[in-house]
Amino acid sequence: MPSENVHCIRNLDASPDVIWAGLKDFDLQWHPAVTECKLLRDETGALLRVFSDVDGGNYVEQRTYISNSDRVMCYTCLSGIEGLTSYHARVEVTPDDKNGSIITWHADISAREDVCVGIVAGTQDILEAGLTGLAKYTPKRPTPNDLTKTVSPVYAGTISGNPTLSYLADEDTSGDTSTLILFLHGIGGNAENWRPQLAEFGANYRVAAWNMRGYGDSTLGFSQTQMEDYCDDILSFAKTFNCEKLVLVGLSMGSWIATSFAMRHSDKLSGLVLAGGCTGMSEAPPRERENFRVSREVPLSQGQKPADFAQAVVDVIMAPDATQEARDLMIQSMTAISVGAYRDALVCFCNPLETFDFTKITSPVMMVTGEFDPLAAPEEIQRVSERIFDAGKNSRGISDVRYEVIPGAGHVCNLERPEYFNDLLTRFLHRLPNTARNYKPSRAEKQRIKRNRIIQAAHIEFCETGFDGTSMDNLAKCAAVSKPTLYQYFGDKEGLFEAVLEEARNSIIAPLTYNEGSLVDKLWQFSWTYADFVLRPDMLSLARLVLGEAGRRPESAITYHQAGPGMAFVGLTDFVKGCITAGELQAEDAELAASDLWSLILSGPRDHHLHYVRETPDQSRLLHSIGHGLSVFLKVYSTDERMDQVALKTKIASKASELN
């Protein structure tokens, strides 16, 4: 599908803080073209705005990235524009040289060819009208947070086993099944470092702070700790606290552990808060990792203990204006660490198992760092937050990331500026559904959750029984709604079937609507997204059932093709056209080239698994099929085959290493 962009920029007399106050809450009440706007959360906690315009249009947009520190916000349109494939917008507020503001508003649009020009023109008008509305905006007084502000007592506990794991928590809540907020400290800390957070959040949330292996009253295992061990420990906390979902809040090495856990168990996370780091040594070259480890082991080799160099470390990692109380707490933490525990954590940290694949993170993410953090500088953490944001856009067409800098803080930002850190954490946790003990969704949120529940139930039913075999009575029962509700939300069974297929189609073509990255990056991500989706047992089952019904009900097969694979192929064809225009591909017939790509990467494996029902797709065989298919495609159509083949071989080698 054609991809276009809209770019607006304007100088306004108001200060950046005033202008940003109108944008940051995501509310459009100030927009002259908007008649009504409601804010709500989806089932993951993402912030949505549902609004109507003066022409009677109804739209849903989701905020995908925000940084109050940088005054930057990104969002995407989920519904309301006919023929739209993707819509990613970014707005930024910067100061000018006259105490005013410069507002830069940009939108990347991909849409059906016959409506793309109109959507671009309409978007231009909307953004320009928004800039006019912002020029007249008067900030509203902030509304108070409705969570109870009380100090909760902190209790100590242990999880028996090998090793024994100790922790601090709000109370013994083994009978409570709500989400657990688990705090993970760094190499020089322990659970005590999180007391300011445990005391404040314990009244409204289930909270606990672990002592990782060898720290506090936790013991070391029989062998050197590996990342898998730390991840298993987190699972032990989930089991002990009887919770289905976790919010991990990590600091320094704790952030690295939390991110590593997200690579493996993102389905268990409601949220991820990463302070003072993220990637750890996972992306450092071997020499840098070894130098880091050796430099920190030298004092230990000379007979010193962490207590001997605690003061020197604190002087480096904490901000110049850190309070003496915060410094003393950090020194006490380091003094309590044994040589064995310190060395064990250090060796694990310097021997990462993998580089991170941020596409695996599916929960909301907040990244935080201190203004004067020498180990996780703001510019470094900002880049990582943008990479996580880009990975979500690239793989799923959507992200939910926040990045903030805590002024006046160093590496241990939760101790140095606890009020500021707690305020950011409050805002993040408050948005997550079913996380606070007194959480009550709004009526609009309940409706959206109900709509998604219906789609999920319909997806299961269509995949198990086909279109003809699915009844609205049974769908209503499975979705736990009334039959009239189904018709109210989707019109009829055909409308519900199309809604199910639309969700599927959008997930397949999301990588192709992403405007950054190389040709090989996009083709690679599309191929694996496509493979992961169409080779799922449920999607194979749906395809078999629809094709089996085609003879007696051809209209359902046509609907399946037009709303699902057919529209995905249109998106692929438009992507190829764009690459031809950009000079990345050469082809006389873009549709034929798209058909070649479609067939080369997965037609064989998909056809095989449509017939061999009991076989599970083998990742190594898929790698061979996708790698070979893309190689052939590039050989025929690439305008820079040599460089693209080199990039593809790198992708194949990396994936092969991951599989082994």
**Matching residue, tokens 């007979």:** 303
Residue 150 has pLDDT above 90, yes or no: no
Between CA 159 and CA 168 the distance in angstroms is 11
3-state SS, one letter per residue, for 603-655? HHHHHHHHHCCCCCCCHHHHHHHHHHHHHHHHHHHECCHHHHHHHHHHHHHHH
The pLDDT of residue 172 is 56
Return the number of other C-beta atoms located less than 10 Å from residue 539's C-beta.
17
| Rounded mean pLDDT, 472-495 | 87
Q: Between these two residues, 262 and 353, which has the higher pLDDT value? A: 262
**Matching residue, tokens 């009253």:** 217
Nearest to 251, CA basis, from 342, 300, 188: 188
Between CA 659 and CA 295 the distance in angstroms is 33
Angle between helices 590-611 and 519-534 (to 10 degrees): 30
**Matching residue, tokens 């695996």:** 360
Mean pLDDT is lowest, of 55-59, 96-100, 254-258, 561-565, for 561-565
Q: Between these two residues, 553 and 129, which has the higher pLDDT value? A: 129
The pLDDT of residue 23 is 94
* Backbone dihedral region for residue 102 (phi beyond 0: left; psi -120 to 50: alpha; all else: beta): beta
The pLDDT of residue 464 is 81
* Buried residues in 338-371 as b, exposed as e (16+ CB within 10 A): ebebbbbbbebbbebeeebebbebbbbbbbbbbb
The pLDDT of residue 220 is 95
The pLDDT of residue 513 is 64
- For the stretch 282-300, pLDDT in tens is 888 888 888 888 888 888 8
Between CA 374 and CA 288 the distance in angstroms is 17
Are 193 and 329 spatial neighbours (Cβ–Cβ below 8 Å)? yes
- For the stretch 446-460, pLDDT in tens is 787 788 888 888 888
The pLDDT of residue 638 is 95
- For the stretch 586-625, pLDDT in tens is 999 999 999 999 899 888 888 888 888 888 888 888 999 9
- For the stretch 367-411, pLDDT in tens is 999 999 999 999 999 999 999 998 887 666 678 999 999 999 999
| Rounded mean pLDDT, 127-133 | 94
Q: What are phi and psi of 323, to 5 degrees?
A: -70, 155
3-state secondary structure of 246: strand
Between CA 31 and CA 51 the distance in angstroms is 11
Q: What are phi and psi of 34, to 5 degrees?
A: -100, 130
Nearest to 170, CA basis, from 147, 151, 193: 151
- For the stretch 301-325, pLDDT in tens is 889 999 999 999 999 999 999 999 9
This prediction's pTM: 0.79
| Rounded mean pLDDT, 145-150 | 52
Are 1 and 574 spatial neighbours (Cβ–Cβ below 8 Å)? yes
Q: What is the mean pLDDT of the chain?
A: 88
The pLDDT of residue 192 is 95
Q: Between these two residues, 98 and 403, which has the higher pLDDT value? A: 403
Between CA 263 and CA 279 the distance in angstroms is 12
Helix (H) or strand (E) holding 103: strand 101-111
3-state helix, strand, coil in the chain (%, to 5): 50, 15, 30
- The structure tokens listed for 603 are 């037609």
User: With the C-alpha atoms ordered 307, 312, 318, 324, is the resulting torsion angle positive or negative?
Assistant: positive
Residue 429: pLDDT band (50, 70, 90) is very high
Domains of the chain: 3-135 (3.30.530.20), 155-430 (3.40.50.1820), 445-659 (1.10.357.10)
Residue 470 has pLDDT above 70, yes or no: yes
- The structure tokens listed for 328 are 């003393």
The pLDDT of residue 144 is 44
